[in-house]
Amino acid sequence: MLSRAIPRSVLRSTAASSSSSFRASNIYLGRQSRRWYASEAEEKDLVIVGGGVAGYVAAIKAGQSGLKVACIEKRGTLGGTCLNVGCIPSKSLLNNSHLLHTIQHDTKNRGIEVGDIKLNLDVMMKAKDTSVQGLTKGVEFLFKKNNVEYIKGTGAFKDEHTIAVNLNDGGETEVKGKNIFIATGSESTPFPGLTINEENVITSTGAIALKKVPKKMVVIGGGIIGLEMGSVWSRLGSEVTVVEFLGQIGGPGMDQEISKQIQKMLAKQGMKFKLNTKVTKGDASAESIKINVEAAKGGKEELLDADVVLVAIGRRPYTAGLGLENIGLDVDERGRLVIDQEYRTKIPHIRAIGDVTFGPMLAHKAEEEGVAAVEFITKNYGHVNYNAIPSVMYTHPEVAWVGQNEQELKAQGVKYKIGSFPFSANSRAKTNLDTEGMVKFITDAETDRILGVHIVGPNAGEMIAEGTLALEYGASAEDVGRTSHAHPTLSEAFKEAAMAAYGKAIHY
């Protein structure tokens, strides 16, 4: 924390903007009718539009750094999509549906015999909501602790230094800022021909709030969101079919070998997959939704029936109602705000972070950008290593990776080595009766430097942190292999995979 006031010279943004790459959080912006006008407050050092992960983290960091900061959020609760209707509530449902699935299908093998098991969906949803409410209130407390002014309302640019706010409780105000961050996040990409109602044609928002288990669910899109939410409802009793245009699930970032493994595992759990398949049209006019699909390259059409259709074809930046036209800011062909290496738009004191700009739409990426953007204001330097941003899919088993995958390295002509180790040879996994999956290291063939780590298996989401740290510090596989890992732990599979990359694993 800074013990003295930040000089005005530091607070002024310098250098003209260039066109590079970077990111934003989530808030839905629009103009409301004018009723009364609140008096203008003092100029802030920083005004942040959007209270999602990028925005609230930046606000807290700025408050810790001694800046006078205000954060504008329309939703009425902080945390954006991630905390309110995304990462957090979906993990609650994933965890609790996994517990149900384990009790129904696995505890007998562990010597635990139970009676009749039934789902109380209302209570499961209440548990999810309780988690969300506690965390959003926690962020609000951190705002108070760090002297961040929290303005509940819809913000739009009046001019380059002024945000006009339609307050949720009625009336209007204006907030002036020496610096302004745009952290307005993203929204689900709609599917042409299917109108989202969040009841039977849903996005991820509707998928965490269904009032009953659908008999049949079709998921359009086999990326992480589609697979996670499809997994939840499959465990709860729905017949889930995933339709994916690409030839693999998990998205192009997932290593193809890992993708094939997790597809087999999810199929064994009951999920169905139609890869290299496109949806040509959908009809939701009747009680049962009709989805027409055919091979991605063309072919015979097939008709799918569903009670619920989940549209999970990705997300797009959200800037509607932000008033970008009032200050001459443009977006690119994908709706992203163009920024330079210091997150500045072409107006240097206005920066964009998180989903609203370039890069993977991940909460932890947005978090890092929130911190770095504030540091550029207060210190004139900041840091995010975009080559060491982990990704996690919270199915069971989990899938996690960081760095490059095999298909990327092949395309680049990079010479590499592979070291892998199966959880079936790991003592802790065997005692847990949870042995599906593997750890895979990809290293530079000449230097042994780690280029990527890919895991499918138990605890993958936690284990990938070690791989991320290794990448951040430029470690070799031998560095990891010569580091003692506690026995018996799942992380020993990580060490053994590293050993296999530069020599030989001991236990396989």
Query: What pLDDT is attached to residue 333?
Result: 97
93 assigned binding-site residue:
no
Tell me what the mean pLDDT of segment 196-218 comes to.
Answer: 98
225 assigned binding-site residue:
yes
244 assigned binding-site residue:
yes
Q: 316 or 29, which is more confident?
A: 316
**Whole-number mean pLDDT of the chain?**
92
Annotation marks residue 487 as catalytic? yes
Binned at pLDDT 50, 70 and 90, residue 40 comes out as low
Nearest to 274 by CA among 308, 306, 251, 240: 240
Q: Is 184 helix (H, G, I), strand (E, B) or coil?
A: coil
Given 349, 396, 485, 487, which residue is catalytic? 487
- Chain segment 148-200, per-residue pLDDT in tens: 999 999 999 999 999 999 999 999 999 999 999 999 999 999 999 899 999 99
Count Cβ atoms below 10 Å from residue 364 Cβ, excluding itself.
Answer: 17
Are the C-beta atoms of residues 411 and 398 closer than 8 Å to each other?
Answer: no
Tell me what the mean pLDDT of segment 97-113 comes to.
Answer: 95
End-to-end alpha carbon distance in the chain = 49
Query: What pLDDT is attached to residue 41?
Result: 59
What is the rounded distance in angstroms from the CA atom of residue 310 to the CA atom of residue 303?
Answer: 16
pLDDT at 27 over 60: no
What is the rounded distance in angstroms from the CA atom of residue 52 to the CA atom of residue 303?
Answer: 39
What is the rounded distance in angstroms from the CA atom of residue 423 to the CA atom of residue 426?
Answer: 5
- Provide the β-strand partners of residue 162: 159, 176
Distance of CA 392 to the CA centre of its chain: 9
DSSP state of 66: T
Q: Is 255 helix (H, G, I), strand (E, B) or coil?
A: coil
Length of the chain equals 508
2 assigned binding-site residue:
no
pLDDT at 21 over 50: no
> What does the block give as tokens for 399?
């899938």
DSSP state of 331: B
**Cβ contacts of 338 within 8 Å, gap of 6 or more:** 19, 330, 331, 332, 345, 346, 357
Reported in sequence order, the residue ranges of 307-389 that DSSP labels E, i.e. its strands, are: 308-311, 315-317, 350-352
492 assigned binding-site residue:
no
Tell me what the mean pLDDT of segment 81-108 comes to.
Answer: 97
User: Helical H runs in 191-304?
Assistant: 204-207, 224-235, 256-268
155 assigned binding-site residue:
yes
Binned at pLDDT 50, 70 and 90, residue 449 comes out as very high
Binned at pLDDT 50, 70 and 90, residue 298 comes out as confident
Say what the pTM is: 0.90
Are the C-beta atoms of residues 502 and 443 closer than 8 Å to each other?
Answer: yes
Binned at pLDDT 50, 70 and 90, residue 299 comes out as confident
463 assigned binding-site residue:
no
156 assigned binding-site residue:
no
Query: What pLDDT is attached to residue 312?
Result: 98
Which helix (H) or strand (E) is 280 found in, with range?
strand 277-283
- Chain segment 364-391, per-residue pLDDT in tens: 999 999 999 999 999 999 999 999 999 9
Please provide the DSSP assignment of 75-87 as one string.
SSSSBHHHHHHSH
314 assigned binding-site residue:
yes
Query: What pLDDT is attached to residue 31?
Result: 35
Are the C-beta atoms of residues 463 and 480 closer than 8 Å to each other?
Answer: no
Share of the chain above pLDDT 90, in %: 90
Q: Which amino acid is at 328?
A: G
Query: What pLDDT is attached to residue 8?
Result: 37
pLDDT at 2 over 70: no
